[in-house]
Amino acid sequence: MARRSSGTRRLNQGPRAALDGFGRAVGSAAVRYVPESTDALRALVLRAAEERQPLAFRGAGRSYGDAALNGGHLVVDTCQLDRVLSWDPATGVIDVQPGVTIEGLWRHTLADGYWPSVVPGTMFPTVGGCVAMNIHGKNHFRAGPFGDHVLDFDLLTPTGETLRCSPEQNADVFRAAIGGFGMLGALTRVRLGLHRVHSGNLRVEGLAVPNLDALFEAFDARLPEADYLVGWTDLFARGRGLGRSVIHAARHLAPGEDPDPRRTLDPDAQDLPDRFFGVVPRGLMWKLLRPWVNDLGMRLVNLAKYTSSRLLERPGRTVLQSHVAFAFLLDYVPRWRDAYGLGGFIQVQPFIPADGARQTMRRIIETCHAHDLVPYLGVFKRHRPDDFLLSHALDGYSMAMDLRVTARNRERVWELGRAIGDIVVDAGGRFYFAKDAVARPDQVLATFGPERIDTFVALKRRLDPDGLLSSELSRRVLPQLPGLPAA
C-alpha cells in the first residue's frame, strides 16, 4: 500500500474525546471519528491499517465497562450510520445500518405490529453494539439472544474486504462476529427478523418472594407460560431473607385480546410520561436520587421496593403495561447514572449453570457481604445456551449487580469483582463482556475454554492479520489476540 506524504496529518492527530463506559468508573481519551457513510468508514479503516493505528469500534457507548474504549488510539463510532435500508411488514424483516438504535427499530415497526425480538434494558444501544455483544433480554430463556434473530450481516474487515455472513454463508465468521465485540471487522449492515405482536401492551404479573429459594421456585413455575421474566433482588437482605426479590412475569397478548390494537400500537402511546407522580420532571429525577445513592439510602430504596410489592402486588393478578414501560424501566430516569457520583459504578453479571445455581448465587451474594460491598441493584434472569463462539449464554441464571465505585473503595470493588469471577470459574459459568470491567485473562480462558479461544484467535488472524482491531477490553481479557504494538 502506498505511503502517505509526510505533510499529511496522521489519524491519531484527529479530534480527541474523553470517552467512558456507561458506568463511568472506567474511561480514557481517544481520537474519535464518526463517519457518515459506509464509504467513509471503509476509508478510515483502510487508512488506519496503512498507518498501523490500533482501532476500536463504538456504538452508543452503553456497555458498562471498557468494551468500546481504546485509550490513546482510535475509536470509530458508527452511530451516524443510522439508516433503515428496507422494512417489510409482511414478513417482519428489517435491513438496517449498524447505528440504528433499538428505539429506532421499534418506532419504525410497532405500528405495523412488530417489536424487536430481543431488547436490552435500555432502548439507546445500536444494532451494531447489540450484535457485537450478542445481547439478551428478559426473554432470553424463550427467544435466545439478539444473534438468533440476525438473518445476515455485512462485515468490513481490516483488509478492506466486505463479507456477507449468515448461518449458510461464511458461517464460521457469522458465529464468531456475533458476540465477537468488534474484533473481526465493522458491521456495516444487519438484516433482522422482528417479533409479531398484536398489542402495544403486555400482560404483567408482579409478586414479591421472600428469599432465594422462593425466587428460583417462582421463576421455574413461570417459565413454561411467560414470555418475559425478571427479578429485582434486594441484595442488602441477609439470613432467611437473603435473595428476597420482586419478580415481573409478562406475556404477549393473543390476537383479539386487545380491544383497540391500533391505539396501543401507535408509537406515541408508548412514550414514557414526562413527570414522575405527575409532578417531578423526568430530567430532574436523577438529582433527587443523588442523596439516596449510598449504603443507607439504597438499603431503604430496596426495602421500600420489596415492601410495596408485598403490599400491593399478588401472585396471579395482572396489569397491562406498554412494551416500553416494561422493557426500558431504567430509561424513565434520564441521566440516572450521574446519581452515582464522580466515581461511577461497575456492573458484574455472573452467568451460572442451572445445576447448583441456588448454592452458587447464595455464595456470590454472601461474598459481596463478606467484602462489605453490597450492590445497589440486582437483576436476576433465566438464560438458555446458543451456538455463538464466545457466547456468554448457558442453561442457567444470571445476576447483574451494580457496585458503586468511589476513590476509597475502588481497589476493593475490583477485588470483589475478581472474587466473583473465581466463583464463576468454579461453577463452570461465563462472563459477559458488555458488562465486565474486571475479569482477568486466566478467568476468561478458564470459562470459555482453550478450544473456543483458539478458534477465535485463528479467525482473527485470518480476517485481521495485523491485529488492527483492539480495545481496552480485548487487551485486558484476551491478550493472546494479535494486536499492533502500542505506539
Ligand X SMILES: Cc1cc2nc3c(=O)[nH]c(=O)nc-3n(C[C@H](O)[C@H](O)[C@H](O)COP(=O)(O)OP(=O)(O)OC[C@H]3O[C@@H](n4cnc5c(N)ncnc54)[C@H](O)[C@@H]3O)c2cc1C
Shortest distance (Å) from residue 218 CB to ligand X = 20
Cell of 301: 430504596
**Which lies closer to ligand X via its Cβ, residue 403 or residue 434?**
434
Phi first, then psi: what are they for 303, rounded to 5°?
Answer: -60, -45
Q: Cell numbers 458484574 correspond to what residue?
A: 348
- Contacts (CB under 6 A) with ligand X, residues 53-112: 56-63, 67-68, 78, 98
Stretch that binds ligand X, among 88-96, 124-132, 244-252, 458-466 (CB under 6 A): 124-132
Shortest distance (Å) from residue 187 CB to ligand X = 4
Among 35, 104, 116, 129, contact with ligand X (rule: CB under 6 A): 129
**Which lies closer to ligand X via its Cβ, residue 191 or residue 362?**
191
Among 54, 104, 116, 120, contact with ligand X (rule: CB under 6 A): 120
* Residue 77 neighbours by CB distance under 10 Å: 23
What stretches of 79-232 show up as alpha helix (H) in DSSP?
A: 102-109, 127-133, 140-143, 171-177, 212-222
Among 202, 207, 364, 434, contact with ligand X (rule: CB under 6 A): 434
Q: Are 99 and 128 contacting, i.e. CB atoms less than 8 angstroms apart? A: yes
CA distance 280 to 274: 8
Among 35, 92, 116, 128, contact with ligand X (rule: CB under 6 A): 128
Stretch that binds ligand X, among 121-129, 264-272, 275-283, 303-311 (CB under 6 A): 121-129
Q: Decide if residue 429 touches ligand X (CB under 6 A).
A: no
Helix (H, G, I), strand (E, B) or coil at 443: helix
Shortest distance (Å) from residue 181 CB to ligand X = 4
3-state helix, strand, coil in the chain (%, to 5): 35, 25, 40
**Which lies closer to ligand X via its Cβ, residue 67 or residue 197?**
67
Shortest distance (Å) from residue 127 CB to ligand X = 8
- Which DSSP helix (H) or strand (E) runs through 472? helix 472-477
CA distance 265 to 110: 6
Among 92, 104, 113, 121, contact with ligand X (rule: CB under 6 A): 121
Instruction: Determine the angle formed by the axes of helices 441-448 and 410-427, rounding to 10 degrees.
Output: 20
| β-sheet bridge partners, residue 265 | none
Q: Decide if residue 132 touches ligand X (CB under 6 A).
A: yes
What are the strands, taking DSSP E only, across 101-200?
Answer: 114-115, 150-156, 162-165, 186-193, 195-196
CA distance 276 to 285: 8
Shortest distance (Å) from residue 18 CB to ligand X = 15
Among 45, 110, 133, 377, contact with ligand X (rule: CB under 6 A): 133
- Contacts (CB under 6 A) with ligand X, residues 288-317: none
- Contacts (CB under 6 A) with ligand X, residues 326-365: 330
- The distance between the two most distant Cα atoms of the chain, rounded to a whole number of Å, is 72
Q: Decide if residue 135 touches ligand X (CB under 6 A).
A: yes
Q: Decide if residue 136 touches ligand X (CB under 6 A).
A: yes
Spatial CA neighbour of 71 closest among 54, 86, 87, 83: 54
**Which lies closer to ligand X via its Cβ, residue 265 or residue 478?**
478
Q: Are 55 and 183 contacting, i.e. CB atoms less than 8 angstroms apart? A: no
Shortest distance (Å) from residue 90 CB to ligand X = 28
Q: Decide if residue 139 touches ligand X (CB under 6 A).
A: no
Q: Decide if residue 394 touches ligand X (CB under 6 A).
A: no
* Residue 296 neighbours by CB distance under 10 Å: 9
Binding site for ligand X (CB under 6 A): 22, 56-63, 67-68, 78, 98, 120-122, 125-126, 128-130, 132-133, 135-137, 181-182, 186-187, 330, 434, 471
